[in-house]
């Protein structure tokens, strides 16, 4: 899984170097797919079952889109908030990670939203200790987000990951300390705070995939695949 995560981290680095004003999300999708396949991997999202099989290798969710935005001919504009989510299968092992980029010069609120969401992921990861519970992760994420005046999306959650992309347990981005499934040595989970600048409610777009904020406010998404080890959390999708 670490090998899979290393390919995914490299892919995210390549995407980070590629994003910018005028770049299309379809181009980013092509860059990601090419890199993953060149490393002997398979894009985990492509063909993933849903209302229709997922048609791309990455999710590119712009501004009020929270997650599962489908790459297309949209050319990024100055000030956009772009969440990129990618999954890799290498030798049968899945890794899953997301980063959010500000395009060009973003508003102060957008910049703070991106930072707070990234820090909330770090807080959640820090709670990935043997003997802790999934509620400790959610509580850590939620505390960080709500202190900033933002809201956690509750209808979408992180998840166990391994031979399949979505395994037990579910990992909500909210919760009470000491509640939920206990974290045991060797468990690998994808922690993925989805944070809205406004209210937490989301809607499903007409394409059947894109999830967007109901109130039209900006949203950000960060995700890592993390192993629970006796030595503490080991992030498998770190550059
Ligand atoms: N990281 C997302 C998730 O855990 C990506 C899934 S996109 C899909 O649900 F197309 F593969 F469904
Ligand atoms: Co995920």
pLDDT per residue as tens digits for the range 53-110? 999 999 999 999 999 999 999 999 999 999 999 999 999 999 999 999 999 999 999 9
Ligand 1 centre distance from Cα of residue 194 (Å): 13
Determine what percent of the chain falls in helix, strand and coil, rounding each to the nearest 5.
Answer: 25, 30, 45
Which residues sit with their C-beta closer than 6 Å to ligand 1? Answer: 45, 48, 50, 54, 59, 68, 85, 87, 96, 159, 190, 223
This prediction has a pTM of 0.98
Q: What is the pLDDT of residue 238?
A: 98
Average pLDDT estimate for 34-45: 98
User: Which of 11, 45, 94, 222 has most ligand 1 atoms within 8 Å of CB, for mutation?
Assistant: 45
Query: Do strands 151-152 and 202-204 pair parallel, antiparallel, or not at all (unpaired)?
Result: unpaired
Ligand 2: centre distance to CA 178 (Å) = 23
> pLDDT tens-digit profile of 180-230?
999 999 999 999 999 999 999 999 999 999 999 999 999 999 999 999 999
* Lookup: tokens for 177: 């300390």
Provide Rg for the chain, Cα atoms. 16
**Which pLDDT score, from 0 to 100, does residue 233 have?**
98
Contact indicator for 182, 211 with CB cutoff of 8 Å: no
| The listed CATH number (3.90.230.10, 3.40.50.1860, 3.30.1540.20, 3.40.50.300) that belongs to domain 2-235 | 3.90.230.10
**Averaged pLDDT score across all residues of the chain:** 98
| DSSP track, 127-183 | T--TT-BHHHHHHHHHHHHHHTT-EE--SS-EEE-SSSSSEEEEE-S---TT-SSBP
Q: Which residues contact 51 (CB under 8 A, 6 or more apart)?
A: 208, 209
| Cβ neighbours of 224 (radius 10 Å) | 27
């Amino acid at each position: 899984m670490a090998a899979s995560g290393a390919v995914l981290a490299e892919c995210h680095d390549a995407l980070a170097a590629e994003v910018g004003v005028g770049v299309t999300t379809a181009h980013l999708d092509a860059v990601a797919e090419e890199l993953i396949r060149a490393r002997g991997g398979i894009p985990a999202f492509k063909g993933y079952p849903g209302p229709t099989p997922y048609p791309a290798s990455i999710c590119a969710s712009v501004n009020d889109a929270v997650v599962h935005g489908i790459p297309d001919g949209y050319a990024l504009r100055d000030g956009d908030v772009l969440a990129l989510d990618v999954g890799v299968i290498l030798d049968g092992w899945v890794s899953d990670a997301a980063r959010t980029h500000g395009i060009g010069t973003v508003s102060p609120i957008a910049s703070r939203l991106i930072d707070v969401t990234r820090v909330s992921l770090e807080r959640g990861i820090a709670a990935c200790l043997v003997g802790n519970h999934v509620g400790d992760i959610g509580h850590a994420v939620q505390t960080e987000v709500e202190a900033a005046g933002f809201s956690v999306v509750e209808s979408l959650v992180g998840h166990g990951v391994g031979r399949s992309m979505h395994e037990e347990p579910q990992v909500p981005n909210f919760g009470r300390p000491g509640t939920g499934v206990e974290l045991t040595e060797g468990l690998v989970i994808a922690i993925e705070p989805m944070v809205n600048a406004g209210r937490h409610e989301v809607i499903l777009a007409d394409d059947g995939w894109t999830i967007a904020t109901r109130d039209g406010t900006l949203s950000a998404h960060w995700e890592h695949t993390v192993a629970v080890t006796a030595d503490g959390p080991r992030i498998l999708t770190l550059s």
